[in-house]
Structure 1
């Protein structure tokens, strides 16, 4: 593999990179850096990608939120934090969160909670409760939802 690309070759390469999967500006900038583009060339290529609609931060944020919720069962908090880490604007994060309906969100939460509670083999009730809560909080679900659910599950168990 050669180490240097002309701006046009890099543009073509990044068009494929962006067409394959939605990307955020940060990922594209990192890719350009790895291709050893100068800052001016990188800016030129990013502008071209946006003009060609290969790079669209709003589309990325919405797709990311839908995908992480549906495929990985992530909660809102984790999705928001991951989008912030990718330097997505607050407006785009707000739009992305609207991609997940409250019904779908609660349904995912209920299924995940029931499943995780039932697989925990911990006999010590306090440890089981902690493992359950930690798992759902790590997944990015709101603490009030998690604590209400653990109370409900403990009541039904006992």
Structure 2
């Protein structure tokens, strides 16, 4: 015996309902959680179907919630959010359809604020070095190069 407690089918089903109720999950996370329990494939399918039919599991709701959370709470850019969702097995088309969760104006304001905060923290560097480091930082947060460049050039005399 490996010390794992065994559960009935209904107990497992309830545990997975609770798992989905606690926060939105994607299919991959639920399937991963199911691996904790020794279930036959038919039982897994039945539970997945139940979770979707009862609206405990919705890939679109998960995607929308994930996009909002990562942008509005963590200030991640679209690229980083997209990559993390792809890693979780969310289809590209669904990801693209859900990006309307981020208001275009909010995106621009967040990017501008992050640019200014990071740029102003850098001391003892020449302007082009400060700009270069800021661009690298923001690309690491998942913002698009073109958009970063645009924000970096705002207010400059050309």
Partner of residue 96, structure 1: 98
Unaligned 5+ residue runs, structure 2? none
Partner of residue 146, structure 1: 148
Partner of residue 16, structure 1: 18
Aligned residue pairs: how many?
155
CA contact (8 A) 2:115 2:151 kept: yes
Give the SS at the match of 1:150: helix
User: For residues 19-58 of structure 1, what are the alpha-carbon distances to aligned partners after superposition, in whole Å with 9 as ceiling and x for unaligned?
Assistant: 0100000000000002232322222111111111100001
Give the SS at the match of 1:34: coil
Unaligned 5+ residue runs, structure 1? none
Taking structure 2 as the reference length, the TM-score comes to 0.88
Q: Which has the higher helix share?
A: 1
Cα distance in structure 2, aligned partners of 1:47 and 1:122: 59
1:119 to 121, 146, 149: 121
- Following TM superposition, by how much is the alpha carbon of 1:9 offset from its aligned partner in structure 2, in angstroms? 0.9
1:34-45 → structure 2 map (5 Å cutoff): 34-45=36-47
Residue 30 of structure 1 pairs with residue 70 of structure 2: no
Cα distance in structure 2, aligned partners of 1:82 and 1:150: 26
Residue 62 of structure 1 pairs with residue 26 of structure 2: no
Give the SS at the match of 1:4: coil
Cα distance in structure 1, aligned partners of 2:97 and 2:124: 40
- Following TM superposition, by how much is the alpha carbon of 1:6 offset from its aligned partner in structure 2, in angstroms? 2.1
CA contact (8 A) 1:62 1:95 kept: no
Residue 107 of structure 1 pairs with residue 112 of structure 2: no
User: For residues 84-107 of structure 1, what are the alpha-carbon distances to aligned partners after superposition, in whole Å with 9 as ceiling and x for unaligned?
Assistant: 111112332122101111111111
Residue 135 of structure 1 pairs with residue 134 of structure 2: no
- Following TM superposition, by how much is the alpha carbon of 1:121 offset from its aligned partner in structure 2, in angstroms? 2.8
